[in-house]
């Protein structure tokens, strides 16, 4: 564990629509809606995940490797106003994240194979991505697309999210493609429920999870979408 990073607990569950309605009704009186929520109470997230020529990130996740990292480019509400390159770091049940902003021009250059836009010694994450793309053949693998409804509470810095309508790009990796074709990753009745917190989680939130029959899940949204696109063209290159 890198002591210079801030790590948080991250617990993941799958839930059906009935469980969602019950937990949402209980949560909305106890927690605050996330500040990024739009008029509908949620917002759209689209991420482009990268992996190397050996699909290390995928195999380490499936193999239960305790310490691992994933790289992704993420946008919100299909807009290029905010584009982040992110490195997600996993250490057992703890997670941390490092990110750097990208411009639309930088994104387009990366997608065109011009990695020199990342060759910036003053930005460690960009430089790390540059070396991995040049030396480990890190490249785009899959789009992960969903709608997030999020709630927060200052006690324990708790953040609870319902990730709905999980989809993946059908053999496509351009997150700004207006004609992007997507397929559902789950039955429409299912969604991903995540609980993140710092040192502790309030007992009433823990009890809420335990009393609604939720079962911890190990597969990430990334793995779920990669499995759906097992034979996509990017993986054959």
pLDDT of the chain, 237 residues: tens digit per residue? 566 788 999 989 999 999 999 999 988 888 999 888 888 899 999 999 999 999 999 998 888 788 899 999 999 999 999 999 999 999 877 899 999 999 999 999 999 999 999 999 999 999 999 999 999 999 999 999 999 999 999 888 999 999 999 999 878 999 999 999 999 988 777 899 999 999 888 888 888 777 777 878 877 899 989 888 764 444 443
The number of distinct structural domains making up the chain is: 1
- Euclidean distance between CA atoms 229 and 181, whole angstroms: 13
- Euclidean distance between CA atoms 46 and 226, whole angstroms: 15
Which pLDDT score, from 0 to 100, does residue 85 have? 98
Helix and strand counts by DSSP (H, E) for the chain: 6, 11
In terms of residue numbers, what domain contains 54?
Answer: 8-236
Task: Examine residue 216 and state whether it is found in any structural domain, yes or no.
Answer: yes
Which pLDDT score, from 0 to 100, does residue 67 have? 87
Task: Examine residue 104 and state whether it is found in any structural domain, yes or no.
Answer: yes
Task: Examine residue 2 and state whether it is found in any structural domain, yes or no.
Answer: no
- The CATH number linked to 62 is 3.20.100.30
Which pLDDT score, from 0 to 100, does residue 1 have? 58
- 63-87 burial, b at 16+ Cβ within 10 Å, e below that, comes to eeeeebbbbbbbbbeeeeeebbbbb
Which pLDDT score, from 0 to 100, does residue 211 have? 72
Phi, psi dihedral angles at 80 (to 5 degrees) = -100, 15
Task: Examine residue 3 and state whether it is found in any structural domain, yes or no.
Answer: no
Query: Whole-prediction pTM value?
Result: 0.91
Task: Examine residue 98 and state whether it is found in any structural domain, yes or no.
Answer: yes
Task: Examine residue 71 and state whether it is found in any structural domain, yes or no.
Answer: yes
Task: Examine residue 81 and state whether it is found in any structural domain, yes or no.
Answer: yes
Task: Examine residue 1 and state whether it is found in any structural domain, yes or no.
Answer: no
- Euclidean distance between CA atoms 68 and 91, whole angstroms: 7
């Amino acid at each position: 564990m890198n002591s210079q990073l801030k790590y948080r607990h991250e617990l993941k569950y799958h839930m059906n629509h009935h469980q969602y309605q019950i937990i949402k009704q209980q949560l909305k009186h106890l927690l605050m809606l996330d500040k990024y929520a739009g008029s509908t109470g949620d917002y759209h997230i689209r991420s482009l995940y990268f992996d190397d020529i050996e699909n290390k990130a995928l195999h380490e996740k499936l193999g239960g490797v305790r310490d691992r990292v994933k790289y992704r480019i993420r946008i919100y509400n299909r807009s290029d106003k905010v584009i982040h390159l992110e490195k997600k770091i996993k250490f057992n049940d703890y997670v941390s994240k490092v990110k750097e902003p990208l411009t639309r021009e930088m994104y387009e250059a990366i997608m065109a194979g011009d990695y020199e836009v990342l060759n910036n010694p003053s930005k460690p994450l960009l430089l790390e991505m540059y070396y991995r793309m040049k030396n480990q053949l890190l490249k785009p693998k899959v789009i992960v697309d969903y709608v997030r409804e999020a709630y927060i509470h200052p006690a324990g810095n708790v953040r609870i999210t319902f990730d709905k309508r999980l989809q993946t790009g059908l053999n496509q990796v351009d997150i700004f493609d207006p004609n992007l074709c997507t397929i559902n990753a789950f039955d429409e009745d299912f969604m991903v429920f995540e609980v993140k917190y710092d040192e502790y989680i309030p007992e009433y939130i823990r009890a809420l999870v335990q009393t609604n029959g939720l079962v911890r899940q190990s597969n990430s949204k990334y793995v779920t979408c990669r499995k759906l696109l097992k034979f996509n063209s990017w993986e054959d290159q």
